[in-house]
Structure 1
């Protein structure tokens, strides 16, 4: 019975379990059905109810903007010859995608490196690491859609390979780009400046503030790209906004996932405007060459000549039109080839080789590379004291302050003493000269230190005491000394004023006395040129002008620059007459100059760690009756101004007269009877003098730019005469500036391509020794003529030398329209 009861109980439990299982199974199926029903309903809602809405949201377009860099404007000289210009080239860009990880980027970089190594210029090979850095895979410098510049200036073989293998490089594009080129003759390179990449410029101390402001622009056409080349110095920096132009833009439509969903809308970039400078290329090159030639001469002159200046390694010159303020030449020599910055970058070796020449010593403080700081301390910078070139201004101050009159008479004993008893300081004239009876005008002409010191410097102190230093400062600044010239050039120096320091550490008396003869302020060549022009203008200080006009991409002149008077010093004409008359005298190097001119030489003494050095300084303007051109020349450690600087100025005046004309008519337009192809020469072996100034040679080498040309006195080799006439290659005098060498030098070879004859024989000049041999013929298509047509001197000079070097000027850049 019990067994039957257990069996029934088990059956009931089994039935119950089955019922529970069936319930649970039905519940599971029900829940599953319910869940799927909900999902189906939701899908139906998404598809049929919200589908159009979601589709619209997905395809809703935003945009991404990518800048296209503009083509930079060109820089031309005053005659329309290109000095800095942009040339088309093909560049390779890489576009980053989010899917590209570091390993993939390295694989692409290795492929690119292999292509560059196989088909590219071996001198421009870039490493895998450099390629990866430029790809910017971590977006440190670029957004995702900004193309990254990998390599510019692709070879034809590289372009062909990438064009044929597009499928291997889907993220690579070849874009027409531009590269900045500069005149191979290195025309006014420090004035023109150079370019660097924007990412370097924005971190450079000299340009950081300027370019940081550019980064803040919200205008996409003015947004700077990191790989873009921008101005770093000179005109390139000063007129950056004008030269740059405006970006083009590519506007890509993108969806909410930042995916491109259509073709871009492209706005083309706007080319930058062109600048036409006041610099005249031929006058500029003649100025540069004159400095190099004379530096070479000074370093190699015989000690017995008195001209030897073995540390004269740099020279600075500025030629400024008196009536307009236009600067037609500005040279800071030696210079360098700014094409080393091609592509906005420079190699370490090129930087080391050129860094001493990057700064414009004609407007700022520049030092030569002397190898060590200890050695550099023994030599002056480009800022030197005025020396005796101060004296015209000193006399004007004396007249204006009533310390002297035009008819004041002073008896110069050769020495003036000042200071307390037992501590007397003596001021003496150069070479201990005593000039006797002097008027103010004659004191300038004789360059009397004692007149300036006693009659003006000391007299101003005795009358006004310490206040006299402030009076002095006010006067010199009106002439542009100790203040900016107004040129606007970046990096321009105000000069270094020493008289306030001397007044504090020494005495106001010594400050004014030393300042009176040019030993209490150090200034730039541009300041000296402006000062000379102000004297010539009788008190009108003109703003130095470097740009004549701006022309836009359509050829329209959008800006011109008129003469601008910065300030006027109003003094009686009689005072100006006294000063300008005092600047009347001949000076070495100006023999035979066809115009009456005014000048002042200066030999400024400067203390260095090695002792006192003498700097050559010279200012002049011509013609005297109607001044057109003012010239200033500074040669640190060049010795006497008459020897170390004046001969350079003469060549600048000659070049200006030849190409532009001191009286308004260029000498090259004046008919001059032609000489025979081989002139007969003067007694002593010299050639007949050519009235035209030397022209610069085409395609000069970098070595020539740094080392200058041969040209040593008394039997040495004469320099090549640059394109001296169309018929005969000229020769420079073998003697010292028309001096008395013991024998004539060798005639220099005529160098410009196209000249037909050999160089003339050297000139013994005042010597009975025979003339030197004729120089080599010119290079170029008529080189064979050089062998046949060198001329012989009249007293035993040998006939012309061998054929010139084959010519080969570089391809001409595009001319201005």
Structure 2
């Protein structure tokens, strides 16, 4: 079979090659034009935009947190300071075997499970070349042990900084408060820009109320970084502005004496200067040490504080709401005088009980045998319940409410510490509004001796007592006395609202109520006469006892047969010197039993500490 011979068409192949070459050249030309167009866009049209992005990759702003302002008492005693502290940081990319390294570190310094958990969380959100905190607040011994073994731990560094510290520990903890690590809730209210680099913020007390003043203004440094984000050099630095120092009205020496006066009792005491509303002591017991909260209190320790039946974290001075008991009687007596219901010469017979007309129920006096015939002075000095049952019935609940409201009962005082409660001052409208029930005459009687629905905080009692002693000048209590900005170091007194004058038309009515309170302490039959011995000035005061639970009609209170937590609360309010008051005090002793036997002696110790040798004048 003959082979078939194919003759090549060179002309056709040449034409096909040319077409393909031209197509390739056109494609290359189009790609080149697109590339040139893109370069023109990047280099000319979008030059400024990408130049800015490039600078941001090369230059970075790093925040420099400011030093927190210090807190002093009125005499310059340091209450909150910043101490050098050391923390252990790990640079993950420089650690070859993390588990082994952490195990060996644990042999030199204590590393708790809490520390490891926090370290892992921080490690996941930070770059591998950044220092991740492992342990905060190393002790000097731990720093020394690590320093001598530092060669064994590449990638582990000790960083120095400042940490908040409270030199007095538990004392005045409820006033000063504490700082803690910033959490998600804090971030909702804080200025994010000004808190860059800041790890702690005020949580309670003065630390929280004056956070804006204490924190200061963040600074920045402009640093040059490489493509991996590592710092190469510092280009520019704007230093931070430290926070202002605070000088409080608090007297640390008086605060310590007041807390010591309680002994083993729980309760609260507030001491105020009636001339300006300055709080000189504010006690809430039991208290707590705020320093662990700064370092990061362990869960079990916090739970122990939370579950403690004595509630050490609870600020009794501002949030403790107690029946004022007989401490309310001078104010009720003053209401009777001012509203023309009684006079200083009016008398009431006290057989030991009181009954409403047409009723058999007996409202008992604390003294079973009664006080006999008493006037207002005798009723206050001997704390006669029957006199005030009768006076309360004549006044009526709504007139009592309106009069007592002028002294601040039933409302917040406005003190410059967050968290205050307003107590409760009942009225017929209040009961109808909150309980949808009518007001009963018997409720008026027990309201007249500070029981029933009445509730007041120790701070309210102190403010009202100060107003009574100063003939109606009602000041808003305050704890901060002056600010000290970092610029010039001069003290700038805080602005004080002018006092509100309680409108009592007859000065004689003030004098009658005050004279009766003097009789409580210095009278022959005064309920607090024991504390009036051995002093060269006069105290005007009033004892009080507040029931924790109710008694049946014929049941008798026997402290020995009931649990300690069911004992009556003991109260005492007073101011001194009685003629020109410089200090007003309210004392509440939880389950103390007797205001005369327990609360009044505590107040006497506070007065002794204040008027003792070397005591400052106390004015702002």
The 5 A counterparts of 1:92-111 are: 110=99
Partner of 1:514: 446
Partner of 1:675: none
| Correspondent of 2:258 among 274, 287, 292 | 287
Partner of 2:204: 233
- Whether 1:570 and 2:503 are equivalent positions in the alignment is yes
- Whether 1:78 and 2:30 are equivalent positions in the alignment is no
* Aligned partners of 1:282 and 1:659 also within 8 Å: no
| Correspondent of 1:470 among 398, 404, 408 | 398
CA 1:33–1:616 in 2, change beyond 3 Å: closer, same or farther? same
Inter-partner Cα distance in structure 2 for 1:431 and 1:78 = 44
Inter-partner Cα distance in structure 2 for 1:109 and 1:68 = 30
* Aligned partners of 1:70 and 1:247 also within 8 Å: yes
> Match of 2:569, SS?
strand
Partner of 1:417: 355
* Aligned partners of 1:315 and 1:636 also within 8 Å: yes
TM-superposed deviation, 1:601: 0.5
TM-superposed deviation, 1:458: 0.8
> Match of 2:106, SS?
helix
Inter-partner Cα distance in structure 2 for 1:273 and 1:577 = 44
CA 1:105–1:196 in 2, change beyond 3 Å: closer, same or farther? farther
| Correspondent of 1:604 among 529, 533, 546 | 546
- Whether 1:539 and 2:472 are equivalent positions in the alignment is yes
The 5 A counterparts of 1:590-629 are: 590-607=532-549, 613-629=567-583
- Whether 1:15 and 2:8 are equivalent positions in the alignment is yes
- Whether 1:89 and 2:85 are equivalent positions in the alignment is yes
Partner of 1:350: 301
* Aligned partners of 1:58 and 1:256 also within 8 Å: no
Inter-partner Cα distance in structure 1 for 2:63 and 2:31 = 47
| Correspondent of 1:335 among 280, 284, 287 | 287
Partner of 2:407: 479
Inter-partner Cα distance in structure 1 for 2:400 and 2:129 = 62
Partner of 1:308: none
TM-superposed deviation, 1:510: 2.0
TM-score using structure 1 length: 0.64
- Whether 1:273 and 2:244 are equivalent positions in the alignment is yes
Inter-partner Cα distance in structure 1 for 2:616 and 2:540 = 14
Partner of 2:316: 361
TM-superposed deviation, 1:274: 1.0
Inter-partner Cα distance in structure 2 for 1:659 and 1:555 = 34
TM-superposed deviation, 1:37: 6.5
TM-superposed deviation, 1:358: 1.2
> Match of 1:645, SS?
helix
> Match of 1:84, SS?
strand
CA 1:557–1:145 in 2, change beyond 3 Å: closer, same or farther? farther
CA 1:50–1:279 in 2, change beyond 3 Å: closer, same or farther? closer
Partner of 1:301: none
TM-superposed deviation, 1:235: 0.6
Structure 1 gap segments, 5+ residues each: 203-210, 296-312, 366-382, 462-468, 666-817
Inter-partner Cα distance in structure 2 for 1:410 and 1:419 = 15
* Aligned partners of 1:622 and 1:662 also within 8 Å: no
Inter-partner Cα distance in structure 2 for 1:608 and 1:149 = 56
Structure 2 gap segments, 5+ residues each: 522-527, 552-561
TM-superposed deviation, 1:288: 0.7
Inter-partner Cα distance in structure 2 for 1:287 and 1:247 = 39
Partner of 1:460: 395
The 5 A counterparts of 1:380-779 are: 383-418=321-356, 420-421=358-359, 424-454=360-390, 456-461=391-396, 469-498=397-426, 500=428, 505=437, 507-520=439-452, 521-554=454-487, 556-557=489-490, 559-561=492-494, 564-571=497-504, 572-585=506-519, 586=521, 587=528, 588-607=530-549, 613-658=567-612, 661=615
CA-to-partner distance for each residue in 1:78-126, whole Å, 9 max, x for gaps?
Answer: 111111111122345678xxxx9xxx7997854763464244x316575
* Aligned partners of 2:347 and 2:375 also within 8 Å: yes
Inter-partner Cα distance in structure 1 for 2:415 and 2:489 = 25
Q: Which moved more, 1:559-568 or 1:593-602?
A: 559-568
TM-superposed deviation, 1:263: 4.3
> Match of 2:402, SS?
helix
CA-to-partner distance for each residue in 1:617-667, whole Å, 9 max, x for gaps?
Answer: 0011111121111111101211110112111111111111126549789xx
Inter-partner Cα distance in structure 2 for 1:239 and 1:21 = 91
CA 1:160–1:248 in 2, change beyond 3 Å: closer, same or farther? farther
* Aligned partners of 2:90 and 2:134 also within 8 Å: yes
Inter-partner Cα distance in structure 2 for 1:417 and 1:575 = 28
CA 1:387–1:38 in 2, change beyond 3 Å: closer, same or farther? closer
TM-superposed deviation, 1:213: 2.9
Inter-partner Cα distance in structure 1 for 2:443 and 2:341 = 17
Q: Which moved more, 1:493-502 or 1:241-250?
A: 493-502
Inter-partner Cα distance in structure 1 for 2:131 and 2:238 = 17
Inter-partner Cα distance in structure 1 for 2:342 and 2:510 = 14
| Correspondent of 2:219 among 239, 244, 248 | 248
Partner of 1:713: none
CA 1:433–1:545 in 2, change beyond 3 Å: closer, same or farther? farther
CA 1:34–1:552 in 2, change beyond 3 Å: closer, same or farther? same
Inter-partner Cα distance in structure 1 for 2:514 and 2:129 = 67
CA 1:44–1:568 in 2, change beyond 3 Å: closer, same or farther? closer
TM-superposed deviation, 1:593: 2.2
> Match of 1:621, SS?
strand
CA 1:41–1:551 in 2, change beyond 3 Å: closer, same or farther? same
CA-to-partner distance for each residue in 1:727-754, whole Å, 9 max, x for gaps?
Answer: xxxxxxxxxxxxxxxxxxxxxxxxxxxx
TM-superposed deviation, 1:349: 2.4
CA-to-partner distance for each residue in 1:10-69, whole Å, 9 max, x for gaps?
Answer: 44x3322x6655655565566556656766787788889986888877544246544332
